[in-house]
Amino acid sequence: MILKATQLSMDFGGLRAVDRVDIEIHEGEIVALIGPNGAGKTTFFNCVTGVYPPTEGQIHINPPGGTEVSITGLKPNRIAERGLARTFQNIRLFPNMTVLENVMVGRDCRLKAGILGAILRDRRTREEEEQVIHDSHEILKKIGIEQHVNEQAKNLPYGAQRRLEIARAIATEPFLLLLDEPAAGMNPQETRQLDDLILRLRDVEKLTIFLIEHDMSLVMRLSERIYVMDYGELIAHGSPAEVKSNPLVIKAYLGEDVSA
Amino acid sequence: MDFEFFVNLLFSGLTRGSIYALLALGYTMVYGIVKLINFAHGEVYMIGAFTTLIMVSVLTILNLPILAIAVIAALVAIVWSAGYGYTLDKIAYKPLREAPRLSALISAIGMSLFLQNYVRLAQTSDFLPFPRFLPTVRFLDNYDGLSSSQFIIFTTTTVVMVILTIFIKFTRVGKSMRAAAQDRMMATLTGVNVNKTISVTFLIGSVTAAIGGILISAHVGQINFYIGFLAGIKAFVAAVLGGIGSIPGAVLGSFVLGLTESFGAGYISSDYEDVFAFIILVLILIFRPSGILGKPAAQKV
């Protein structure tokens, strides 16, 4: 496994948003987390990426070629350094920075030169900066938005903004990419292109993908395994076919038991 | 009311504006990222002036040329003040980062009072003479309207602004600062060490504040523990006027405020000099609460 959540719970006051969830992700997989609105999916992502320290439970990672460590309660930037990157359901770019700058900020945690370098402008700092600009262009090419490189992020068309979020996440050099509703607001054609992109990230960039998605066709097409949450609890887990026919899942999505 | 008088007021307004700008930058940069009004910022400016005075007194023993003494004293004072700004953040604001904003604000006011009174006890509450060590600029000899020190203040400020703009626009640290100002949580999630970025912001703000404190003291020729208070409040007004959080806004607001004060004092009454700043503040809060270059705050619902 490369990510393992054990008995993870998150309380907000008296409300238990995530309730003793166990999830395991293996290298090279595409795994989906689905469930009705308010099931606690995004809260789960927030716990994993350090936005909230979980109330209970543990999160461990085991990066490819590394050793198993706990990341429970670490600061988000430390977790990003360890190789987890994510995107948001409602796009959160740096709106007043250019596309290139957005990607460069993502690269920040992999750089060595500090404030002294920024002031002294020594050779190592300059070389590093050139390298970052070069790498960032490469990433934008891979994601397919290099034509927007010098535009302000806020002026990008919606689909390109979504892609830029993925580009910025990739810039942090993650081994695991968490996508929170990547297809939200996209039309069927854009969703198809997103399919290709996600598959390419897995097959070419060797990333493991863990995604939250409401678009069931995308989920069924891409994921190898699916976890289903409802009211903070994990109610089902399995292959797309298994999940599709699971009565608990059908009930969670459609309300009262349909079999009757 | 002749032209010469007008020019005098103009230059005096630009000088004031420069000093306000050097201070307002610190307010606006810190507010941009931490959403905190650092009320102790004016004290850093005052400490910059006091440290310079102490260093000049010490270095005089060495019998160096006055310009060398001034430069060394100023550099030491700038580094020392930067240390104050950094420490201020670490002990008074960082522990309150996740607390309600009001708590950090109270902490800032507390630090301001503490630093003022500590300098009063350590030094004196009297005005102390400050050496006018700014060199004379030869080519201004035949010109009455603009003094050498005014000229130096204005050029130094311009140079500082240009360097700062380049720093924020092009360096990696500058990018992290902008990213953190636009979305702090997202910056953290992309791996930016926001705590470090905030420290750098305090360092830079303190450096520019100290430069302002040293320049104005060498121009006016006297200091006491209280100089940071009024200057700090006015620079804060300037930052709000320009749109707090915006760096070009802070500079613009500072010059608007400096010129208004100067012309108001010259053409209306110098008794009301300090009142103009607050009249402007009231007007801007009524008619354009987000400031000249500030964006109207979009309320999240």
CATH classification number, B3-287, choose in 3.30.110, 3.40.50, 1.20.120, 1.10.3470: 1.10.3470
Mean pLDDT is highest, among A63-77, A126-140, B14-28, for: B14-28
Predicted confidence band of residue A257 (pLDDT cuts 50, 70, 90): low
Q: What's the rounded Cα separation, in Å, for the pair A235 and B39?
A: 52
Cβ atoms within 10 A of the Cβ of B159, count? 11
What are B142-173's pLDDT values in tens digits? 777 788 889 999 999 999 999 999 999 988 88
Q: What was the pLDDT predicted at B252? A: 94
Q: Please tell me the least confidently modeled range out of A48-62, A245-259, B138-152, B221-235.
A: A245-259
Q: What's the rounded Cα separation, in Å, for the pair A256 and A236?
A: 17
Question: Token digits for A153?
Answer: 């992020």
Q: What's the rounded Cα separation, in Å, for the pair B301 and B299?
A: 6
Q: What's the rounded Cα separation, in Å, for the pair B176 and B178?
A: 5
Question: Token digits for A127?
Answer: 């070389």
Partners of residue A227 on adjacent β-strands: A33, A237
The letter for the amino acid at B103 is: S
Question: Which of A87, A108, A126 is the best mutation test for B, with the most CBs of B within 10 A?
Answer: A108
Comparing CA positions, the residue from A207, A131, A143, A197 lying closest to residue A173 is A207
The letter for the amino acid at A218 is: L
Going along B98-220, which residue ranges are E strands?
128-129
**Facing residue for B191 by CB, picked from A94, A115, A172:** A172
H helices present in A108-257, as ranges: 115-120, 123-143, 158-171, 188-203, 216-222, 240-244, 247-254
Q: What was the pLDDT predicted at A113? A: 67
Instruction: Look at B186 and A111 and tell me if their CB atoms are within 8 Å.
Output: no
> Biggest alpha carbon distance in chain B?
66
Predicted confidence band of residue B85 (pLDDT cuts 50, 70, 90): very high
Is the minimum CB–CB distance between B98 and chain A shorter than 8 Å?
A: no
**Facing residue for A105 by CB, picked from B185, B187, B200:** B187
Burial of B135 by CB count in 10 Å (0-12 exposed, 13-18 middle, 19+ buried)? exposed
User: What is the distance of C-alpha B213 from the center of its chain?
Assistant: 8
Residue A138 in contact with residue A100, Cβ under 8 Å?
Answer: no
Residue B236 in contact with residue B249, Cβ under 8 Å?
Answer: no
Say which DSSP state A149 is in. T
Give mean pLDDT, residues A131-138: 92
Is the minimum CB–CB distance between A92 and chain B shorter than 8 Å?
A: yes
Give mean pLDDT, residues B220-243: 92
Cβ contacts of residue A228 below 8 Å, gap of 6+? A33, A34, A35, A234, A235, A236, A237, A243, A246, A248, A249, A252
Give mean pLDDT, residues A72-95: 92
The alpha carbon of residue A223 is apart from the nearest alpha carbon of chain B, in Å, by 25
Q: What's the rounded Cα separation, in Å, for the pair B78 and B61?
A: 21
All structural domains of chain A, each given as residue ranges with its CATH number in brackets, are 1-83+174-260 (3.40.50.300), 94-172 (no CATH)
Percentage of the residues of chain A whose pLDDT score is greater than 70: 96
User: What is the distance of C-alpha B44 from the center of its chain?
Assistant: 9
**Facing residue for B173 by CB, picked from A101, A118, A169:** A118
Comparing CA positions, the residue from B49, B38, B48, B44 lying closest to residue B110 is B38
Q: Please tell me the least confidently modeled range out of B72-76, B85-89, B279-283.
A: B279-283
**Facing residue for B188 by CB, picked from A76, A114, A168:** A76
Predicted confidence band of residue A109 (pLDDT cuts 50, 70, 90): confident
Instruction: Look at A80 and B200 and tell me if their CB atoms are within 8 Å.
Output: no
Give mean pLDDT, residues A25-31: 94
What are B234-271's pLDDT values in tens digits? 999 999 999 888 899 999 999 999 999 999 998 988 88
Helix or strand (DSSP H, E) at A60? strand A56-61
Cβ atoms within 10 A of the Cβ of B298, count? 6
Predicted confidence band of residue A256 (pLDDT cuts 50, 70, 90): low
Is residue B301 scored above 50 in pLDDT? no
Buried b (16+ CB within 10 A) or exposed e, A111-143: bebebebbeeeeeebeebbeebeebbeebbebb
Is the minimum CB–CB distance between A114 and chain B shorter than 8 Å?
A: yes
Q: What was the pLDDT predicted at B136? A: 83
The structural domains of chain B, with segments of one domain joined by +, span: 3-287
Give mean pLDDT, residues B81-107: 93
Q: What was the pLDDT predicted at B16? A: 93
Is the minimum CB–CB distance between A116 and chain B shorter than 8 Å?
A: no
Predicted confidence band of residue B1 (pLDDT cuts 50, 70, 90): low
Is residue A65 scored above 90 in pLDDT? no
Task: Give me the sign of the Cα torsion angle A88, B201, B83, B192.
Answer: positive
Give mean pLDDT, residues B62-70: 87
Cβ contacts of residue A132 below 8 Å, gap of 6+? A104, A107, A111, B172
Q: What was the pLDDT predicted at B64? A: 85
ipTM given for this complex: 0.84
- pTM score: 0.88
Is the minimum CB–CB distance between B183 and chain A shorter than 8 Å?
A: yes
Classified as helix, coil or strand, A260 is: coil
Question: Token digits for B195?
Answer: 């705590």
For chain A, what is the mean pLDDT? Answer: 90
Pairing of strands A176-180, B128-129: unpaired
Classified as helix, coil or strand, B88 is: helix
Cβ contacts of residue A19 below 8 Å, gap of 6+? A9, A40, A231, A232, A233
Q: What's the rounded Cα separation, in Å, for the pair B46 and B223?
A: 8
Partners of residue A70 on adjacent β-strands: A60
User: What is the distance of C-alpha A81 from the center of its chain?
Assistant: 14
In chain A, residues with a C-beta closer than 8 Å to the C-beta of B294 are none
Q: What was the pLDDT predicted at A253? A: 81
Task: Give me the sign of the Cα torsion angle B242, B245, B247, B251.
Answer: positive
Instruction: Look at B187 and A118 and tell me if their CB atoms are within 8 Å.
Output: no
Q: What's the rounded Cα separation, in Å, for the pair A245 and A249?
A: 8
What are A190-237's pLDDT values in tens digits? 899 999 999 999 999 999 999 999 988 899 999 999 999 999 999 999
User: Looking at chain A, which residue has its C-alpha nearest residue B194?
Assistant: A77
Say which DSSP state B138 is in. G
Residue A3 in contact with residue A25, Cβ under 8 Å?
Answer: yes
Q: What was the pLDDT predicted at B147? A: 86
Is the minimum CB–CB distance between A72 and chain B shorter than 8 Å?
A: no
Partners of residue A229 on adjacent β-strands: A234
Q: What was the pLDDT predicted at A114? A: 66
Q: What was the pLDDT predicted at A51? A: 92
Q: What was the pLDDT predicted at A151? A: 94
Give mean pLDDT, residues A137-164: 92
Helices (H) and strands (E) in chain A, counts: 10, 10
Is residue A172 scored above 90 in pLDDT? yes
Classified as helix, coil or strand, B129 is: strand
Residue A252 in contact with residue A235, Cβ under 8 Å?
Answer: yes
Instruction: Look at B192 and A105 and tell me if their CB atoms are within 8 Å.
Output: yes
Q: What's the rounded Cα separation, in Å, for the pair B245 and A175?
A: 36
Pairing of strands A176-180, A208-212: parallel
> Biggest alpha carbon distance in chain A?
74
What is the CB-side half-sphere exposure of residue B131 using CA atoms within 13 A? Answer: 20
Say which DSSP state A148 is in. G
Instruction: Look at B183 and A129 and tell me if their CB atoms are within 8 Å.
Output: no
Predicted confidence band of residue A260 (pLDDT cuts 50, 70, 90): very low
